[in-house]
Amino acid sequence: MKEQYITMRNRHQIDGNLLYTYAREHGMTLNFNEFMAGLGFWSSTVIEYLDRKFELTLLYGKDGNFIKIVE
């Protein structure tokens, strides 16, 4: 899951299916449509949480924008 997450982040695209799978594996009970509706509001919080959970090193540009995950 971690490698898939890193690939998703480095592509700068949120994969709702991947995040939904992770959430279901960790006890979330919402159905897919409910999850996706909530993800629209909470995506940055979810991303920040998973970045910390996976203990990732993030590379940011001078302007503060995310560039990529480095390992």
Q: What is the pTM of this model?
A: 0.86
Residue 4 has pLDDT above 80, yes or no: yes
Report pLDDT digits (tens) over 8-62: 999 999 999 999 999 999 999 999 999 999 998 998 999 999 999 999 999 999 9
d(CA 52, CA 58): 10
Residue 71 has pLDDT above 90, yes or no: no
**Which pLDDT does position 7 carry in this prediction?**
96
**Which pLDDT does position 40 carry in this prediction?**
86
Domain that holds residue 54: 2-70
Tokens matching residue 24: 């279901």
Name the domain count of the chain. Answer: 1
